[in-house]
Amino acid sequence: MIKMKKILSTHIFFLSSLLWHGCVHPRDNYSDPLLESGIPKQWEAVDLNNSLSQDKNLTYWMDSFENEWLNEAVYTAWSTNPSLVALAEQTLAVGEEAVITGASILPQANVGANGSKSKRNLIGFNFPNGSTSFTSESFTSGINLSWEIDLWGKLRDQKNSAKKRFEGSQYDYEGARLSLAGQVAKAWYGIVESEQQLQLSKQMTVTFKKNQVFIANRFANGLASALENDLATSALASSQATETMRERIQNTQVKELESFLGYFAKGSLDHNFSDSLPKLDLSPFPPTPAQVMQNRPDLLAARLQLEASGYDLSVAKMNLLPSISLTGGPGSRSEEFGDLLNNRFRTWEISGGITQPLFNGGRIRANIRRSQALKKAAEANYRAVALRAFTEVETLLANESFLQQQEEYLQIASLAAQTAAKTSWDRYQRGVQGIFDTLDSQRRAFEAESRLLDTRKDRIFNRINLFLALGMPALPIEP
């Protein structure tokens, strides 16, 4: 009869559990919303771009520039940039939070010992020749075990959510490393271009200085008008102003690079900057959109945040279910401290409890609605990150072709303008052409060369941004 009651009680318990479990929707199976909606199979700009290489063997995009000094600068930034160091420590902290959250699924054990001494008065008892009070001592020791049984998988989902967020923070850190490498590379070649622009402006100043001296001598001898002298003086002052502007820009760029490297800004770096911008080869053939989804750290982080929000929603729903816990453990109790290790004074205790939420002012239901909203927000953010990523790649791929054509046209324009400037100066010296047209042709020659340098820099920047948009790694983690 007793055995029958035990079996009946067990069945009632499990039937109740199934009924409670039916009140909660099953855990949502994760599916990638981008794959369901259908992502492009290929980039539209690939068909329009004839400046792509078919070589797909490029592993680290920094290798395409073949600059050991730049590689060293990137490794320096990765190790000393304070913002990146702070993010690394924050990522470690998120990892420890995941460990803390995951520990709740395991039993907890604590060991301890206690002692007490008490005095009691025997008032109302008339013992002849007896004491009216007595003292007692008590000592206990043992291991206290506690365990919340994860019957519904709530603790497991909490652990998985924390794990996903930690993995997402790792990708955030990888994205920051990749972005910092791109910033260092662009700052580096920005300084190289700025140095070339500065040398060009100095060359322009020298040219206009010679012009001004030549025309001033002619003006002093009555062979040139005051207008010609003023125009020459104005051209010289303008070129000197341009030279000063280029020095200011270069100083700012150097300080920016110093900040990326974790240095205090001084405006001077002891690095071997090359005298010219690198000549770019054809851009490597890009990976497919599906491959970019697996490469870009921001996309991977957003997807993991979406998965974590799904686990959070599951946990919020399972808060409606009862929680079951066990406590107890072995120990010992004695009036003498030295007897605590004696087997005769061994004790044990075990107890169980079940807690079911009944009334909480609607907090649990509100938390479910909150988790649902956060999951929808995470999904929308994932789509937004993907849309931004695909737009960046398409735009940068198209720019590869545009900038290449622009550089070719400016190369022709620069050579033609230099030839025209020399011809114009010869014509002025022979008195065939006026000074205004001569100075204007010289200015155009320098401007064409300056635009060519700027376009070459833009091509390099666009190439770096394309590598970042594709999620390609910059360098190995260690030199």
pLDDT of residue 427: 84
Using 50, 70 and 90 to split pLDDT, how confident is the model at 19? very low
- Residues paired with residue 142 on neighbouring β-strands, in sequence order: 112, 331
280-339 per-position pLDDT tens digit: 876 777 788 888 888 999 999 999 999 999 999 999 999 999 999 988 888 788 777 777
Residue 267, φ and ψ in degrees, nearest 5? 85, 15
107-122+131-149+322-355 under CATH 2.20.200.10, yes or no: yes
Across all residues in the chain, what is the average pLDDT?
Answer: 84
Using 50, 70 and 90 to split pLDDT, how confident is the model at 129? low
What would you report as the CA-atom Rg of the chain, rounded to the nearest whole angstrom? 39
Residue intervals of the chain classified under CATH 1.20.1600.10 are 24-106+154-321+363-470
Tell me the residue type at 344: R
CB 323 within 8 A of CB 94: no
CB 214 within 8 A of CB 207: no
Report pTM: 0.83
Nearest-5° Cα angle at 465, 459 to 466: 85
CATH for 24-106+154-321+363-470 (1.20.1600.10, 1.10.1040.10, 3.40.50.300, 2.40.50.90) = 1.20.1600.10
What span, in angstroms and rounded, lies between the C-alpha atoms of 35 and 306? 14
Using 50, 70 and 90 to split pLDDT, how confident is the model at 27? low
What span, in angstroms and rounded, lies between the C-alpha atoms of 287 and 42? 9
144-159 per-position pLDDT tens digit: 888 889 889 999 999 9
What span, in angstroms and rounded, lies between the C-alpha atoms of 273 and 198? 14
Look at strands 323-334 and 283-284 and give their pairing. Answer: unpaired
CB 444 within 8 A of CB 159: no
Look at strands 323-334 and 346-355 and give their pairing. Answer: antiparallel
440 CB-contact burial (10 Å; exposed 0-12 / middle 13-18 / buried 19+) = middle
230-288 per-position pLDDT tens digit: 888 898 999 999 999 999 999 999 999 999 999 888 777 665 666 678 888 767 777 88
Residue intervals of the chain classified under CATH 2.20.200.10 are 107-122+131-149+322-355
Using 50, 70 and 90 to split pLDDT, how confident is the model at 119? confident
171-194 per-position pLDDT tens digit: 999 999 999 999 999 999 999 999
pLDDT of residue 215: 86
Mean pLDDT of 18-32: 51
Q: Which residue from 298, 58, 80 is spatially nearest to 184, judged by alpha carbons?
A: 80
What span, in angstroms and rounded, lies between the C-alpha atoms of 414 and 411? 5
What span, in angstroms and rounded, lies between the C-alpha atoms of 51 and 60? 20
- Residues paired with residue 116 on neighbouring β-strands, in sequence order: 138
- Residues paired with residue 331 on neighbouring β-strands, in sequence order: 142, 347
